Amino acid sequence: MPGLSVLIREGEVCRCLRSKKLFYQTEGDESEAANAAPFWCSRTQGVQGPDGQIVGLDECRPGRGCCETA
């Protein structure tokens, strides 16, 4: 699995999904996004999304009502 920044850029996860690693991961960093936990939502600034559900790599995908991929 690619890094979180790649998943966001390719629209595989919500663009509001954040992790601490997102801010210091470099393009050459091949570490998996799963290793970037814990996650939070940039819209709510918490561990729950605007829909009140938990955020995460598996949860914040297209099809979720609050997911923004573009």
Q: What is the pLDDT of residues 55-69, one digit of tens each?
A: 999 999 999 999 999
Q: Higher confidence at residue 20 or residue 49?
A: 49
Q: Which positions ≥6 away from 29 have C-beta within 8 Å?
A: 3
Q: What is the pLDDT of residues 26-51, one digit of tens each?
A: 666 666 666 667 899 999 999 999 99
Going by DSSP bridges, is the β-strand pair 39-41/17-19 parallel, antiparallel, or unpaired? antiparallel
Q: Is the pLDDT of residue 16 over 80?
A: yes
Q: Residue 20: pLDDT band by 50, 70, 90 thresholds? A: confident
CA gap 56, 4 in Å, rounded: 11
Give SS3 for 66. coil
Domains of the chain: which residue ranges? Answer: 1-62
